[in-house]
Chains A and B, each alone.
Chain A
Amino acid sequence: MTTTTPPVAAGTQDTSGRSTRVSRVRKRLSGRTATLVTIVIAVVWTIPTFGLFVSSFRPEAQLKTTGWWTFFSDPQFTLQNYQDVLFGRSSNSGQLAGYFINSLVITLPSVLFPIAFAALAAYALAWINFRGRDWIYISIFALQIVPLQMALVPLLSFFSRGVSLGGVTLMPAWNLDGAQNFAQVWFAHTCFALPFAVYLLHNFIAQLPKDLMEAARVDGATHPKIFRTIILPLITPALAALGIFQFLWVWNDLLVALIFAGGSDVTAPLTVRLAEMAGTRGNEWQRLTAGAFVSIVVPLIVFLSLQRYFVRGLLSGSVKG
């Protein structure tokens, strides 16, 4: 026994030594391919945006005849594209400054209204006892799966023709004109955002400690008081996450704006104008590149500066209906 063991042991040692060497080599190799794959993905994901960004600063003649990569061998820089696309007077130049303001006017109330209403509703659903509570919560939760396409046609006729049942007018047409049309867009965005907003905020509010509410109730605080002084400060991160969500959603939305804001320069947001330019002037790259960047820059800033909240929100909610 004793005589046979050492060689075996030596043999094992030998192979294990070789196998660690092999595995080290393989590890370094796999480390290298891993790095390579990572870099390839990262490049593919950033190059398109980068190319557009570079192009937006190139003079029209250059942009239309040579690829953007020639910029690095023959750099020619201009801000003319931005000047034209934002403030140009001719009808085909874009006039995006006005549309930019439209986007802003559409977005602010469309973010504030649903968040406020959803916070109130979520509080009631989580901490006020009343009959039918679970039933209402489940209904709102289930509404998340209704695609907004299901609501578009009737909602538009609701705005333009009002509601009448059997000849009796229950609600007159809104008859909005000009800038008043923003109200329609706010209304639509608010409705469509509510199911997800209530769901997300309910998740947060329901998790708050029960003792906190009971202590406040014992002290004689009413529900509105508890909501204002205890709930609101505690759910600020959730409100921020939801705010960013809704901001990106509304600012980037095309469908709702197309239907409820129309195509006029008084109310249509940037996305509608850009989609229109891409359709009718698809080869005017000096305008499309600069225009696309004008529309991208605001959400990008919001996103990069508040990424932490956004990610937290993503991880707590799941489906945006």
Chain B
Amino acid sequence: MSFDFADQAPKFMMLLWGLVGFAVVVGGLLVLLDVVPAHFSRRREAALVAASASGAPLPRRTKPREGLFALFFLLPTVLLLLIGLVVPAVRTTLLSFMDGGSQNWVGLDNYRWMFAEDAILRVLLNTLLWVTLVPLVATSIGLLYAVLVDKARLEAVAKSLIFMPMAISFVGAAIIWRFVYAYRGEGEDQIGLLNQIVVSLGGEPRQWLLDSPLNTLLLIVIMVWIQAGFAMVVLSAAIKAIPADIVEAARLDGVSPWQMFWQITLPSIRSALIVVVVTISIATLKVFDIVRTATNGNYDTSVIANEMYNQAFRYGENGQGSALAVFLFVLVVPIVIFQIRNLRRQRREG
């Protein structure tokens, strides 16, 4: 029952190295950029003085090299992005046309496998279910809540309550909800809230996470629980940004709250609504932690990101894993194009 801090020393050493590295790289870059140009400008001044003293023609004033500065400011970012994102993404695309050991080209086999295998089709279907339900439900609840608490008493507190799950990791959230879904045999005291409610209503306790497709829906609840807060905050800000005179004019016209919502509020926050739906959709497409922690993808609950991890990092099937990653990317693209188009139209109108 003791905790040995000496065991942890190498970690702190490593952290120290990391921080020293940070100071050296960033500080060094700034100092370098400060010192070198100053050095050159001193030399130019000296040359100017010498030239004017000897009566020789003045050296031509060189243009400050903006490009050189930009290069050094951008160097770390561009380099890291190339090594860490661009090149790997291209390689993943290539790997998706190769076999599991990345030795031979197999053409479209991996993609054919994706749509032929029943288990993988199930995965794709589950992902579709996630990406339709989560944005829809989370945004609706967020919007409803934002409208309800707007200008209410204790608004800030009420908002924090819904917003809090955003700070909780997907792993933590999955554990929290697994506890809600926990099962004890019939006749025993239930420890999970959901089964307790079912039992007290006269039903039988169930192993919620074992029956498909209900289990996928219950996992979706977890994601909705996390994302509704995000939707609520963004939409609430949009609602508060509606010009007061519009609201006031509508109220003077005797508009009912219901009409107010559909005819004033909703059209005014349209663009914020789209941003929220798009953001949640993209996050949902990539959901991994919840499924892995709650069911590990068993009982027909797996989704693309989880299957991609399994194929590439557990079964060593790099080709099939890469194909799933590429497919994920392909699914994200139309959503983003939709948003960019929307932003452009908005800018034209505004």
Contact = CB atoms under 8 A, between A and B. Distances in A.
Given A187-B80, A275-B289, A307-B160, 4 more contacts: A140-B77, A151-B92, A285-B191, A318-B278
A84 to B, nearest CB: 9
Contact of A116 (B26, B176, B189): B26
Interface in B25-59: 26, 29-30, 33-34, 37-38
12 contacts: A41-B141, A42-B158, A45-B225, A52-B176, A136-B78, A151-B88, A153-B95, A254-B289, A255-B288, A274-B293, A275-B292, A303-B167
B215 interface: no
Interface string A207-228: 0000000000000001111011
Contact of A318 (B92, B275, B293): B275
B88 A154 contact: yes
Interface in B128-155: 141, 144-145, 148-149, 152
Contacts of B177: 48
B309 A146 contact: no
Interface string B51-90: 0000000000000001101100110111011011111110
Interface in A44-103: 45-49, 51-52, 55, 63-70, 83, 86-89, 97-98, 101-102
A13 B26 CA distance: 76
B266 interface: no
Given A49-B176, A152-B325, A292-B176, A146 B193 contact: no
B158 A191 contact: no
B220 interface: no
Contact of B167 (A89, A149, A153, A299): A299
A101 B92 contact: no
Nearest to B179: A52
B172 interface: yes
Interface residues of B, number: 118
Contact of B18 (A38, A108, A178): A108
B84 A64 contact: no
B304 to A, nearest CB: 8
A191 B84 contact: yes
A194 interface: yes
B169 A296 contact: yes
A151 B89 contact: yes
Contacts of B262: none
A190 interface: yes
Given A45-B165, A88-B1, A191 B81 contact: yes
B175 A274 contact: yes
Contacts of B190: 67
Contact of B318 (A108, A109, A153, A295): A153
Nearest to A140: B81
Interface string B97-125: 00000000000000000000000000000
Contacts of A156: 313
A185 to B, nearest CB: 10
Interface in A284-309: 285, 288-289, 291-292, 295-296, 299-300, 302-304, 307
Contacts of B19: 108-109, 112
A320 interface: yes
Interface residues of A, number: 123
A47 B162 contact: no
A235 interface: no
A131 B81 contact: no
Main secondary structure of the interface of B (DSSP, over half): helix
B145 A38 contact: yes
B106 to A, nearest CB: 16
Nearest to A249: B169
Contact of B11 (A136, A266, A303): A266
Main secondary structure of the interface of A (DSSP, over half): helix
B219 interface: no
Contact of A315 (B34, B163, B180, B234): B234
A105 B12 contact: yes
Contacts of A183: 14, 18
Nearest to A110: B18
Contacts of B18: 105, 108-109, 182-183, 186
B66 A130 contact: yes
A195 B3 contact: no
A156 B161 CA distance: 39
Contacts of B13: 179
Q: 7 nearest interchain CB pairs?
A: A191-B84, A252-B169, A124-B73, A303-B167, A154-B88, A151-B88, A121-B77
Nearest to B29: A120
A174 interface: no
Nearest to B167: A303
B45 to A, nearest CB: 12
A289 B164 contact: no
Contact of A41 (B8, B162, B234, B322): B162
